[in-house]
């Protein structure tokens, strides 16, 4: 990219040039999804997991007005620890860039920038979706509309249980976003391995997913593909349900709306579960990053 405000790290630029497998990683998880100091540890570990499986990590963020595809360790530290990091969805990117500010990118914004850079595999924790009560608030994550327009495969642990899962699955269908379950047809609910909703298609290996990606490209149905990868060990269900209830009530009481809802509820979970949800959240991100790396590697072997 020649624009002054778009910077690709040397590692990612080299990988793009020589056709190596690359995995995009979002930064909102680091700045707004995980508490300090584990956010920085996880951001570093996730990059190492991707490298250890033969792919190149590209963590994406905007720092001081510059879009970065791939961060240095100092920049990871900034994203994890600076207090002036906003949460940017796709619509915010140009505004943040023009004003010289800094922001972590959500799934929607990260996916947009990844595709712009030429990266088509992405790992996150949980996808945004339709919030409970959306029939009145209209609160539906821009993650969904972004994925309906972008050629990207995203590995996630389903959608957060804080959302309306049934409505989210309906919207995924309407928006023609593909959904496959990794070794399951039970749609995962982020902290829980099974949200209670069944999906139609199961895949059992990274090679299976690479084959689906190749067909999507051939058939020109290659907008977003969601790979739903359940966490190995879920949260205690009774505890999960109780914390979810108190979190939703707390958000209502505190008048939390819009983009602040997700960070508020995640923080509530981590505090109220005394770290249990944090541990599960970290497991989710690590396992999704490993699978995304395997998909990126397998995809290179399958003609696109």
Least distance (Å) between residue 127 CB and ligand PSU: 7
DSSP state of 9: -
Distance of alpha carbon 40 from alpha carbon 24, whole angstroms:
17
Q: What are phi and psi of 69, to 5 degrees?
A: -105, 100
Single out the catalytic residue among 11, 47, 160, 259.
Answer: 160
For CA atoms 288, 294, 296, 299, give the dihedral sign: negative
3-state secondary structure of 101: coil
- Residue-wise over 215-241: b if at least 16 C-beta within 10 A, else e? ebbeeeebbbbbbbbbbeebbeeebbe
Taking the CB of residue 45, how many other CB atoms lie within 10 A of it?
15
Q: Is 125 in the site for ligand PSU (CB under 6 A)?
A: yes
State yes or no: is 173 an active-site residue: no
Q: Which residue's C-beta sits nearest to ligand PSU?
A: 125
Provide the 10 A C-beta neighbour count for residue 52: 10
- Distance separating the N- and C-terminal Cα atoms of the chain: 23
Q: Which stretch binds Mn ion (CB under 5 A): 89-97, 137-145, 197-205, 282-290?
A: 137-145
Q: Pattern 143-182, binding to ligand PSU, x per CB under 6 A?
A: x---------------------------------------
Which residue in the set 59, 75, 90, 106 belongs to the binding site for ligand PSU (CB under 6 A)? 106
Helices (H) and strands (E) in the chain, counts: 13, 13
Asked if 253 is an active-site residue, the reply is no
Looking at 112, 171, 216, 259, which residue binds ligand PSU (CB under 6 A)? 259
Asked if 26 interacts with Mn ion (CB under 5 A), we say: no
Stretch that binds Mn ion, among 15-23, 102-110, 132-140, 156-164 (CB under 5 A): 132-140
- Shortest Å, Cβ 229 to ligand PSU: 12
Annotated catalytic residue, options 11, 26, 140, 234 = 26
Q: Determine contact, residues 110/122, Cβ cutoff 8 Å.
A: yes
Q: Residue 267 Cβ, how far from ligand PSU at the closest point, in Å?
A: 10
Residue ranges in contact with ligand PSU by CB under 6 A: 26, 28-29, 32-33, 106-107, 124-126, 128, 141-143, 259, 262, 266, 281
Instruction: Enumerate the active-site residues.
Output: 26, 160
């Amino acid at each position: 990219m020649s624009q002054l405000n778009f910077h690709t790290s040397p590692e990612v630029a080299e990988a793009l040039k020589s056709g190596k497998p690359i995995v995009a990683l979002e930064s909102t998880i680091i700045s707004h999804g995980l508490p300090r100091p584990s956010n920085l540890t996880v951001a570093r570990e996730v990059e190492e997991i991707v490298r250890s499986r033969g792919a190149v990590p590209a963590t994406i963020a905007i720092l001081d007005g510059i879009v970065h595809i791939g961060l240095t360790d100092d920049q990871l530290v900034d994203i994890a620890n600076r207090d002036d990091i906003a949460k940017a969805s796709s619509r915010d990117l140009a505004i943040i860039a023009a004003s010289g500010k800094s922001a972590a990118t959500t799934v929607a914004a990260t996916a947009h920038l990844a595709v712009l850079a030429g990266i088509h595999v992405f790992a996150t924790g949980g996808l945004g979706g339709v919030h409970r009560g959306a029939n009145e608030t209209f609160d539906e994550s821009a993650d969904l509309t972004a994925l309906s327009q972008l050629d990207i495969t995203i590995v996630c642990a389903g959608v957060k249980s804080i959302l309306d899962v049934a409505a989210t699955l309906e919207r995924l269908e309407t928006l023609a976003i593909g959904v496959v379950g990794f070794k399951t047809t039970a749609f995962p609910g982020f902290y829980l391995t099974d949200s209670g909703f069944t999906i139609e298609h199961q895949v059992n290996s990274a090679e299976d997913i690479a084959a689906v990606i190749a067909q999507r490209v051939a058939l020109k149905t290659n907008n977003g593909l969601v790979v739903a990868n359940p966490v190995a060990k879920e949260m205690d269900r009774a505890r999960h349900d109780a914390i979810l209830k108190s979190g939703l009530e707390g958000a209502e009481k505190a008048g939390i709306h819009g983009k602040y809802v997700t960070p508020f509820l995640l923080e509530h979970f981590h505090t109220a579960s005394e770290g249990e949800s944090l541990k599960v959240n970290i497991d989710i991100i690590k396992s999704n990053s490993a699978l995304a790396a395997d998909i990126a590697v397998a995809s290179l072997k399958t003609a696109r």
